[in-house]
Structure 1
Amino acid sequence: MLRRDFYLNQIINSMWDGQVKVITGLRRVGKSVLLFELFKNYLIDNHINKNQIITLSLDQRKYYKFRNPITLCEYVEDLIKDSTQKYYLFIDEVQLSKTVIDSENDDIPVTIYDMLNELKSYKNLDVYVTGSNSKLLSSDIMTEFRGRSTQIHVYPLSFEEYFSSYNGDVRDCLDEYLLYGGMPRITSFKDDISKKRYLSSLYDEVYIKDIIERHNIEKPDILEQILDYLSSQISSLTNPTNVANAISDVRKQKVDNNLVSSYINYSIDAFLVSVARRYDIKGKSYYKYPNKYYFTDLGLRNARLNFRQYDPGHLMENAIYNELIRRGYSVDIGVVIDRRKGNYALKEIDFVVNEGDRRIYIQSALRMDDTTKIESELDSLRLTNDFFKKIIIRNDINHSYYDENGFYHCSLIDFLLNKIDLF
C-alpha cells in the first residue's frame, strides 16, 4: 500500500480539534484508502479498538439507508451512548446524502450538514467525512458548518510519492509520471497498454458520467469538446469565449459562451480541472480574462487526447503548478508591463507564489540551451524590479544553483522531490 504521509499527518494533527474533518478530492484519488485504511490502521496501532471506529460508505448498497441524514444521526447516537468511550465516525462519499423533511418537527428540511453539526457536539465523537464535489464540500462549508470544519484536500500522487514505489532511474520515472500522471492505481499496472486503458476508462466511465449526472448536462457532446480543447491548451491563456468560438468553428454552429462557462465550472467543481488567474504584479490587481487551465492529473489529460499530444514543456508547467497547489501555496500567473523603448507589452511570469506575506516568482523552463531562450526566461523576472526570490525550475540541469543575478536555477527533479526550500 502506498504511503500518503503528507495527508495522514494532516489528519493526525487535526484529531479531536472539535471540527468535522472534511476530506475532499478528485474521484479515485485515494481519499477512502487514506481514511478507511491508512488512518484506521494508525488508530488501531495506537490502541484504538475496532468497535470504537464507526464506518459508513454511502456509495455501497448496504449503507444506502444512511443517505437519509436523520437515520444516519440516530444510528450513530445509538452506538456512542457510552460517554466514557471515545469514538471515531468515518463517512465516505458524504455528498450522496439527501435532504429530507423532518415530519416530527414542523416539516423542517434536514441536510447532512445539520446532522454532522449535531453529531460533532458530542464530546466523545470525532467526525471525518470524504466527498468528491467541491460545491457541496467547499463553497458551502463556511456557511453550513459555520466555521467548524477542517478541510484536507487530497491530490493524485505527487512525484515524490510516485517515485517511492518506482523501481528504476529517477529520470525514467519522471518521463513516466508526466505521461501517466499520479492516479494511485496506475502504480499497480505493469504495462503501458493497461495504464492507458485504465486512464481512458476512468475518464469516460467515471468523470464524464459523474459531471453529466450531477448537473443534468443536456449537451454532453459540448462538455466533451470543451475538455478536449482545455486538454490541448494546458499552460496556454484562454477564456470561455475562445473555447466557445473554437467549438463553434468545429460544429459549424454557434455555441453559447455562458453554456461553455458553466460546463468549465462543472469540471472545476469535480476537481478535474483547476484555473489560475492572471495577476498584475505592479498594479496589484487581477485580470478577469484570460486565465490558464491546468489538469489535476496529467495522465487523465493525456488520456483525453489519446496520448497523441505530448508537450513536455506544457506538461512540466502543469506538474509544477499541481505541486505548488498541493503544498498549500496560493498560485497566480504573473504579469508585468514592459515599457522599455517606448513599448507597452505584457510579459508573463509563470507563477507568483504566495505563502502568507511571503512571495516568490517561478519560471518553468524545459531547457535553456541558447542565449535567446535564457534572455526570454529571465527578462520578465528582471522587470519586477523587487527583492522577492526568483526561481527558474529547469529540466536540463542536475544540480540547483544561484547565478550572478541572484536568480535560483532549480532542478525540476529536486523541486518535485521536495529537496529544496522555495522560501
Structure 2
Amino acid sequence: MLKIVLINIENYLRKVLIDINNFSGIIIAMINTDLLTAALLEQRETFLTRSRGVSREIVPTLAKMLKAPQVIVITGLRRVGKSTLLAQIADAYLEDSFYFVNFEDERLLNFQADDFDLLQETLISLFGEKKTFLLDEIQNVPEWERFVRRLHDQGYKFIVTGSNASLLSQELGTRLTGRSIRVELFPFSFREFLQFRKIVPPNLTHLTAKQKGQLRKQAREYLLIGGIPDALKYPELNWHKTLYDDVLYRDIAARYKLDNTRSLQELAFYLCSNTASSISFNKLKDWLKLGSGNTVKNYITYLENSWLFATINKYAHSVKEQQIAAKKIYGIDTGLLKSVGFAFSENKGRLLENAVFLRLRRNQQKIFYYKTAENYEVDFFLPEQKTFVQAAWQLNSPAVLERELRALSSAVREQPQAKSCVIVTENIKQIYQWDKLHIQVVPLYEWLL
C-alpha cells in the first residue's frame, strides 16, 4: 500500500514539474514578446527623431535601386553613418511605409532566425501592414537571409545594413544570389566634410586666390581629421580609438574567436603606421612571430572585411602574378590612421596618397598599382578607364618632378592604350608635356571635389 502511495506521489510531482516547466516557458515567451515590443517602439521613435546630419551624396543614386525588386545591402565601417543613411532614404523615398529594426540593440542580443515570424507579427500589431523592412546591422542574426528570401519572394522590399563584408557576401551568395544589390558607404567625402562645416564649394573654374587658400586649408584639415561623423561631431572625445578598438575586439577577435589578440593588435597598429606601403605576408609573419604567412593573410582579410583597411594588387595580365606580388595597404579613413598610427602626421605624402585612393575607391572596384620593367612605380592604374594616377605631396624639386614624370612615361610605354595621366599634389595646378605625354597636375582639393 505504501509503495503505491509513493508511486502516486512521484507521478504527481513529475506532473507538477512538467506543468511548472511549461508555465515557465510561457512566462519566458511573454517576457520576450514584451521586451521585443518595447524595443521596437523605442527604436522607431529614436529612428524618426534622430538627426539627419549631412546629406549623403549616395542618396540620389539609390532612387532607381528602390524601384528595382532586389534586396539593397548597405555595407561599411561601424559608425560610418549607415543608420543615418537609412533615415535619409526613408525621408526621401518611403514616407511612412516601412518598418525599422536595429539588431545592435542589446535587447535583441539572442535574436535567432526562428524569431523572425514573431518579429513580423509584432511589427504588424504595432504599426500596421507595411511592405518595406529597414534592418540595421543584420549580420548579428544567424541565417537572417532565410527570412529575407521568404518575404522577398512574397513581394516585400528590404534594405539591410551590415559591418562585415565577408559574412554578408557569404549569406548573399547562398540564398540571395541574383536577388541583391550591394552599396558601399564610406566616411564623409571631402564635399560632405565641407557640408558638415557649412562651407559651400565654390566654382572650381573661377577660383580666387582667397578661395584657393581656403580650400587648400580645408583639404589639409580633412587629411588630418578624416570623415568619420562622430569624430567630427565630438572632437574632444577620442572617437577614432574607441571605434578602432570596437572593430578589433568586437567585430574581429570575438566574431572569429581569435585567441592571439595581441598579434592582431600589433598587425593593425603596423598597418595604420605604414599605410600606402607594400606589404609581404611572409615578412609580417616573421615580424609578428606567427607560424604561417596564411595567418597574417587571414588577419588582413578580417581587417578588410571589417572595413578598417583595403588592399590593392600589382597590375599584371596574369592573375597568379597579381596574387603572389606584394600588395599595397590603405586605411578607410585618414583621420583614424593619424590618431591610431605611430607619428603618422610626419608623412603627409602617405596621407595624401591614402586620400587619393579613397576618392578612387568610392567609384571604382578595379584599382591596381603599376610597376614597370624599369622598376618605376605608379601609385594607381585604372585599366577600365585607362588612367594612371600618381600622388605626390610636392613637386618642388627637379629630382622629384623628374621621378614622377619618368614613372608615368615608362608606364605609358608599356600600356600605350592609356588615355590619361594625373599627378595629385597638395597645391599645384599645372600641365606638363613629357616624352609626348600630356600630364595634368591637380591640387588635392580639386581632385577630391
Structure 1 portions without partners, runs of 5+? 99-110, 249-253, 339-345, 418-423
Q: Counterpart of 1:389?
A: 419
Contact 2:223 2:352 in 1 (8 A): yes
Q: Counterpart of 2:277?
A: 236
- SS state at 2:420 partner: strand
Deviation at 1:408, TM superposition (A): 1.6
Correspondence list, 1:102-117, <5 A: 111-117=143-149
Aligned residues: 377
Q: Describe the superposition over 1:284-319 as per-residue Cα deviations: whole angstroms up to 9, x where unpaired.
A: 962512111111111222222265553110111111
Correspondence list, 1:268-307, <5 A: 268-280=304-316, 286-305=322-341
Q: Counterpart of 1:92?
A: 136
Contact 2:189 2:227 in 1 (8 A): yes
- Counterpart-to-counterpart distance in 2, 1:285 and 1:225: 28
Q: Describe the superposition over 1:18-62 as per-residue Cα deviations: whole angstroms up to 9, x where unpaired.
A: 111101011000111101x21111135xxx3x2x21111111144
Correspondence list, 1:163-312, <5 A: 163-166=194-197, 169-189=214-234, 191=235, 194=236, 197-248=238-289, 255-280=291-316, 286-305=322-341, 309-312=345-348
- Counterpart-to-counterpart distance in 2, 1:115 and 1:231: 39
- Greater shift after overlay, 218-227 or 5-14? 5-14
Are 2:360 and 1:324 equivalent residues in the alignment? yes
Contact 1:402 1:409 in 2 (8 A): yes
- Counterpart-to-counterpart distance in 2, 1:285 and 1:240: 15
- SS state at 1:130 partner: strand
- Taking only aligned residues, the RMSD between alpha carbons, in angstroms, comes to 2.6
- SS state at 1:56 partner: strand
TM-score computed with the length of structure 1 as normaliser: 0.82
Are 2:395 and 1:351 equivalent residues in the alignment? no
Deviation at 1:133, TM superposition (A): 0.8
Q: Counterpart of 1:411?
A: 443
- Greater shift after overlay, 137-146 or 258-267? 137-146
Correspondence list, 1:134-153, <5 A: 134-153=165-184
Q: Counterpart of 1:155?
A: 186
Q: Counterpart of 2:30?
A: none
Are 2:92 and 1:42 equivalent residues in the alignment? yes
Are 2:429 and 1:379 equivalent residues in the alignment? no
Deviation at 1:236, TM superposition (A): 1.4
Correspondence list, 1:4-153, <5 A: 4-35=55-86, 37-43=87-93, 48=95, 50=96, 52-64=97-109, 67-73=111-117, 75-76=119-120, 87-98=131-142, 111-123=143-155, 125-153=156-184
- Counterpart-to-counterpart distance in 2, 1:90 and 1:398: 45
- Counterpart-to-counterpart distance in 2, 1:151 and 1:28: 18
- Counterpart-to-counterpart distance in 2, 1:208 and 1:391: 41
Sequence identity of aligned pairs in percent? 25
- Counterpart-to-counterpart distance in 1, 2:123 and 2:250: 36
Deviation at 1:406, TM superposition (A): 1.0
Contact 1:277 1:286 in 2 (8 A): yes
Q: Counterpart of 2:14?
A: none
Deviation at 1:396, TM superposition (A): 4.3
Distance verdict in 2 for CA 1:167–1:146, change over 3 Å? closer
Q: Counterpart of 2:20?
A: none
- Counterpart-to-counterpart distance in 2, 1:165 and 1:5: 11
Relative to total residues, which structure has the larger strand share, 1 or 2? 1
Letter in 2 for 1:184: P
Structure 2 portions without partners, runs of 5+? 1-51, 200-213
Deviation at 1:235, TM superposition (A): 1.3
